[in-house]
């Protein structure tokens, strides 16, 4: 999941105006969109509109901020705190559209502007945090907050905004504020460079293969797609295996030629670290040092402590303890899984030790032997439209009473994007939902949810929410058949969408997914449970040609195989979390110069240095961490899964898929956004504190895999 935080900022240096300024009347970004729910006018928005819109929006926001800071009346909640939260609407409208398009449908113009804007937007935030007059007014309200008779959400807003300012450097000396401003600008610029390097290398590189025979094991469609990719890259007659953003590559499970598998794994692991224009090694080292220095300047021992101070898990020690609890069982199970794979290789007289390049191929064979289950066997039952309409939407209707109606009258930025109105049970409109599921070169990797418009009672706005996946688009006329992982991802990202759509708060600061980073993944992981819920699965898992439901025996094999390979899956996640924490628990003077050696030493200390299971990402292509949003916080997926595993048990105990349970989840948690402490919201919903045991059981880590007897 990816969203850009709410921008609350003034301006130090305005962006330079265009030589030929675009008149406001011709620029659709200068006014609220007249389309339903202020849905963006994608048919009118052009790349050249953004620069003048940002220039004007920054200037307008500066005036708003100065009006609040210099108001002659004494500071009150309404004229200071609420006014501040409502400010910057023009700027946020422009930035929401820009940042979303820069992720989903970028181009060189947007990328160049993104580079320019990163330090500028950091400067906005700094300037407002350093505004002494404004902070004095905010502090005046904060100091007497207990006497103002505020409701709970308003009190939370006062405290949250005050903490934002303190964490933003409002209490620093002028000299330290100047240094913090420079650090923030450098960090923002470096994060943008890192992310763009990852995307550019993904599009430029891959593994070039000479012959069709070397791709034995892939489907004809996959081979044809590789041929088309090579042709587009100027290598007629060859085959190009494009890279996905993770270390492991999906085709490794099918490629029979071991030398091709090894070459592909080497290419994947080397990303961002083999020289050339997209090398991220210096960027990683510089970012780690800059973040550590910033944390020290703000009074924290390291960047991890700075990040975790606002998270629900509580502390750096708590994160380290969580990873330690998972590392031992995960690696122990991974080693047993490796022995089973080695047994399979030896029985086939392979004559080689299992490596990371071999794991997926032999794990897929082993899965077939143990469960009589071939992943390709289920794909005909997971046609994209059925998964979306009859699965994802159906579960939401059964749980929450919401309904969906596709509309074709609103413009889209790419022809494959679909748009749906979302309605409450009483027929009132809840939101607009965009679906952008296909991969393309202009789109960053992974899957995420974002918002073009956030809900706010204060501003009178309703949500416009989008989900993005990266499903390979089939040839014209062919169905889009999803893998098990892609089905899971569709349900997961829609959990984020529900969090945004169900938002029912007054203040923009708390809308939807504006919650602690380690809480934001929780509702989405809960929503994954419905993909296998019998009533839901029977409704959408139907053969795309015959309409026949998935056979019960096949479904049972799928369910039986769910905990297969969890030692591997959990170990690669623990390993990348170890890397994330290792970088960000250092002082500036401790930042190393050799990334590979640092990663190896960190994994060894944590007991997760098992070569057949490399980290899900290495530092040089770890966009979650070094692209910004999840730095020192990638553990959030594990912590959210702890919360989600507990919540799944709650749903099961309360009858599963029913309106009473759904309405309770919506009322106590999904609709509350960040308007209350996240741990309190969890207790309101689940009735107690989270426990790690359901997660260990869910992943099959509470018992080792049996030795393979073949």
Q: Write the pLDDT tens digit of every residue in 541-574.
A: 999 999 999 998 898 888 888 889 999 999 999 9
Strand partners, 464: 432, 453
Give the helix/strand (H/E) hosting 438.
Answer: strand 429-438
> 93: closest CA among 154, 50, 138?
50
> 417: closest CA among 380, 446, 443?
443
Alpha-carbon 228 to chain mean position: 30
- CA torsion sign for 175, 177, 179, 182 is negative
Query: For residue 444, what pLDDT is reported?
Result: 86
Mean pLDDT confidence for 345-361: 96
Give the helix/strand (H/E) hosting 119.
Answer: helix 108-129
Q: φ, ψ for residue 419 (rounded to 5)?
A: -130, 135
Mean pLDDT confidence for 306-318: 92
| CA distance linking residue 285 with residue 281, whole number of Å | 6
Which residue shows structure tokens 């100091």?
A: 143
Query: For residue 7, what pLDDT is reported?
Result: 38
Query: For residue 380, what pLDDT is reported?
Result: 95
- CA torsion sign for 644, 649, 650, 651 is positive
Q: Region of 275 please: left (phi>0), alpha (psi -120 to 50) or beta.
A: left
Q: Where are the beta strands (DSSP E) in 40-133?
A: none
Q: What is the DSSP letter of 137?
A: H
pLDDT of 8 over the 70 cut: no
Order of strands, edge to edge, in the sheet holding 429-438? 403-407, 418-423, 429-438, 464-471, 448-453
Q: How confident is the model at residue 629 (pLDDT cuts 50, 70, 90)?
A: confident
The full 3-state SS of 318-387, as one line of letters, equals: HHHHHHHHHHHHHHHHHHHHHHHHHHHHHHCCCCCCCCHHHHHHHHHHHHHHHHCCCHHHHHHHCEHHHH
> 87: closest CA among 64, 121, 70, 71?
64
Query: For residue 122, what pLDDT is reported?
Result: 87
161 class by beta-carbon count within 10 Å (0-12 exposed, 13-18 middle, 19+ buried): buried
How wide is the angle at C-alpha 68 spanned by C-alphas 63 and 73, nearest 5°?
135
Q: Write the pLDDT tens digit of every residue in 450-476.
A: 999 999 999 999 999 999 999 988 888
Q: What is the DSSP letter of 72?
A: S
How wide is the angle at C-alpha 264 spanned by C-alphas 257 and 194, nearest 5°?
170
Strand partners, 451: 465
Q: Region of 512 please: left (phi>0), alpha (psi -120 to 50) or beta.
A: left
Query: For residue 357, what pLDDT is reported?
Result: 98
> 421: closest CA among 159, 39, 2?
39
Query: For residue 23, what pLDDT is reported?
Result: 53
pLDDT of 368 over the 60 cut: yes
Q: What is the DSSP letter of 141?
A: H
Query: For residue 152, what pLDDT is reported?
Result: 96
CB atoms within 10 A of CB 460: 7
* C-alpha distance from residue 435 to each of 92, 427, 451, 497 (Å): 22, 22, 12, 10
> 192: closest CA among 440, 441, 444?
444
688: CB partners within 8 A, 6+ apart: none
Query: For residue 10, what pLDDT is reported?
Result: 32
| CA distance linking residue 300 with residue 268, whole number of Å | 35
Q: How confident is the model at residue 628 (pLDDT cuts 50, 70, 90)?
A: confident
| CA distance linking residue 576 with residue 578, whole number of Å | 5
pLDDT of 497 over the 70 cut: yes
Q: Write the pLDDT tens digit of every residue in 677-705.
A: 999 999 999 998 887 778 777 787 776 66
Note whether 650 and 669 are within 8 A (CB).
no
DSSP reduced 3-state for 113? helix
Which residue shows structure tokens 């098990």?
A: 484
Query: For residue 24, what pLDDT is reported?
Result: 66
The most distant pair of C-alpha atoms in the chain lies apart, rounded to whole Å, by 85
Query: For residue 710, what pLDDT is reported?
Result: 40
Between these two residues, 347 and 7, which has the higher pLDDT value?
A: 347
pLDDT of 592 over the 80 cut: yes
375: CB partners within 8 A, 6+ apart: 253, 364, 367, 483, 484
pLDDT of 187 over the 80 cut: yes
Q: How confident is the model at residue 22 (pLDDT cuts 50, 70, 90)?
A: very low
Query: For residue 707, what pLDDT is reported?
Result: 52
Q: Write the pLDDT tens digit of every residue in 188-224.
A: 999 999 999 998 898 888 999 999 999 999 989 889 9
Between these two residues, 540 and 274, which has the higher pLDDT value?
A: 540
Q: 15-19, 363-367, 452-456, 487-491: which has the minimum mean pLDDT?
A: 15-19
Q: Write the pLDDT tens digit of every residue in 233-269.
A: 899 999 999 888 899 998 999 999 999 999 999 999 9
Mean pLDDT confidence for 98-120: 93
Strand partners, 418: 435
pLDDT of 706 over the 80 cut: no
| CA distance linking residue 651 with residue 694, whole number of Å | 13
Query: For residue 708, what pLDDT is reported?
Result: 46
Mean pLDDT confidence for 95-118: 94
| CA distance linking residue 53 with residue 59, whole number of Å | 10
In the chain, the domains with their CATH numbers are 24-129+131-168 (1.20.1050), 206-269 (no CATH), 379-563 (1.10.1370.40)
The residues that are catalytic are 493
Q: How confident is the model at residue 17 (pLDDT cuts 50, 70, 90)?
A: very low
> 329: closest CA among 80, 17, 608, 680?
608
* C-alpha distance from residue 263 to each of 52, 248, 345, 597, 701 (Å): 47, 12, 19, 22, 32
How wide is the angle at C-alpha 608 spanned by C-alphas 607 and 613, nearest 5°?
155
The full 3-state SS of 585-601, as one line of letters, equals: CCCHHHCCCCHHHHHHH
DSSP reduced 3-state for 440? coil
Query: For residue 245, what pLDDT is reported?
Result: 84
| CA distance linking residue 660 with residue 61, whole number of Å | 44
| CA distance linking residue 677 with residue 658, whole number of Å | 27
Q: What is the DSSP letter of 15?
A: P
pTM: 0.85
Mean pLDDT confidence for 34-59: 96
> 190: closest CA among 118, 122, 126?
118
* 597-612 b/e (C-beta count within 10 Å ≥ 16 → b): ebbeebbeebebbbeb
> 217: closest CA among 321, 38, 362?
362
| CA distance linking residue 472 with residue 489, whole number of Å | 14
Q: Work out the mean pLDDT of the chain and round it to a whole number.
A: 92
pLDDT of 69 over the 80 cut: yes
Query: For residue 16, what pLDDT is reported?
Result: 37
Q: Write the pLDDT tens digit of every residue in 428-444.
A: 999 999 999 999 989 98
Query: For residue 15, what pLDDT is reported?
Result: 36
């Amino acid at each position: 999941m990816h969203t850009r935080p709410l921008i609350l900022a003034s301006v130090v240096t305005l962006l330079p105006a265009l030589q030929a300024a675009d008149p406001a009347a011709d620029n659709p970004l200068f006014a609220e969109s007249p389309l339903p729910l202020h849905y963006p006018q994608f048919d009118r928005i052009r790349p050249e509109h953004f620069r003048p819109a940002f220039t004007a929006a920054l200037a307008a926001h500066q005036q708003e901020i100065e009006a609040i800071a210099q108001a002659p009346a004494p500071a009150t909640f309404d004229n200071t705190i609420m006014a501040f939260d409502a400010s910057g609407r023009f700027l946020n409208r422009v930035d929401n559209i820009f940042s979303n398009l820069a992720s989903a449908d970028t181009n060189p113009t947007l990328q160049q502007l993104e580079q320019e804007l990163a330090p500028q937007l950091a400067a906005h935030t700094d300037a407002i945090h350093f505004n002494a007059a404004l902070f004095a007014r905010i502090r005046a309200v904060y100091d007497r907050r207990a006497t103002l008779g505020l409701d709970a959400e308003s009190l939370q807003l006062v405290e949250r905004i005050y903490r934002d300012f303190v964490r933003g450097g409002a209490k620093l000396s002028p000299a330290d504020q100047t240094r913090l401003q420079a650090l923030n600008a450098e960090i923002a610029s470096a994060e943008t460079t890192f992310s763009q390097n990852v995307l550019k290398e993904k599009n430029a590189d891959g593994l070039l293969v000479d012959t069709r025979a070397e791709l034995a094991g892939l489907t004809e469609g996959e081979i044809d797609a590789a041929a088309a990719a090579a042709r587009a890259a100027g290598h007629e007659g060859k085959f190009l295996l494009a890279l996905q953003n993770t270390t492991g590559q999906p085709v490794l499970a099918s490629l029979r030629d071991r030398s091709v598998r090894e070459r592909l794994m080497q290419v994947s692991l080397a990303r961002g670290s083999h020289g050339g224009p997209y090398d991220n090694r210096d960027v990683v080292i510089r970012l780690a040092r800059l973040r550590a220095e910033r944390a020290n300047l703000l009074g924290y021992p390291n960047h991890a402590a700075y990040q975790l101070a606002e998270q629900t898990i509580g502390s750096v020690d708590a994160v380290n303890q969580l990873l330690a609890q998972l590392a031992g069982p995960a690696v122990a199970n991974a080693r047993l899984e490796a022995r089973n794979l080695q047994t399979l290789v030896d029985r086939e007289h392979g004559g080689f030790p299992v490596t990371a390049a071999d794991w997926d191929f032999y794990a897929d064979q082993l899965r077939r032997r143990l469960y009589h289950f071939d992943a390709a066997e289920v794909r005909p039952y997971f046609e994209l439209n059925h998964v979306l309409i009859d699965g994802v939407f159906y579960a939401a209707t059964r749980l929450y009473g919401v309904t969906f109606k596709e509309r074709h009258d609103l413009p889209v930025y790419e022809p494959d994007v679909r748009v749906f109105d979302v309605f409450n049970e009483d027929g009132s409109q809840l939101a607009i939902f965009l679906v952008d599921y296909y991969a393309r070169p202009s789109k960053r990797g992974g899957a995420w949810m974002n918002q073009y418009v956030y809900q706010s009672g204060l501003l009178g706005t309703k949500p416009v929410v989008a989900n993005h996946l990266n499903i390979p688009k089939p040839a014209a006329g062919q169905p889009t058949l999803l893998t098990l992982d892609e089905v899971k991802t569709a349900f997961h990202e829609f959990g984020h969408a529900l969090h945004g759509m169900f938002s029912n708060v007054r203040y923009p600061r708390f809308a939807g997914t504006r919650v602690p980073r380690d809480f934001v993944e929780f509702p989405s992981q809960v929503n994954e449970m419905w993909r296998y819920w019998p009533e839901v699965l029977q409704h959408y898992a139907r053969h795309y040609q015959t309409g026949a439901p998935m056979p019960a025996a096949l479904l049972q094999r799928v369910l039986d195989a769910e905990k297969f390979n969890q030692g591997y899956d959990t170990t690669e996640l623990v390993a990348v979390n170890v890397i994330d924490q290792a970088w960000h628990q250092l002082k500036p003077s401790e930042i190393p110069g050799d990334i590979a050696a640092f990663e190896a030493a960190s994994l060894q200390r944590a007991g997760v240095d098992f070569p057949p299971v490399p980290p899900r990402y290495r530092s040089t292509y770890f966009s979650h961490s070094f692209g910004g949003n999840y730095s020192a916080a990638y553990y959030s997926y594990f912590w959210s899964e702890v919360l989600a595993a507990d919540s799944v048990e709650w749903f099961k105990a309360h009858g599963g898929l029913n309106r009473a349970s759904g309405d309770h989840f919506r009322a106590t948690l999904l609709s509350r956004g960040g308007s209350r402490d996240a741990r309190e919201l969890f207790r309101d919903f689940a009735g107690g504190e989270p426990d790690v045991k359901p997660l260990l059981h869910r992943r099959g880590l509470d018992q080792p895999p049996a030795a393979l007897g073949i």
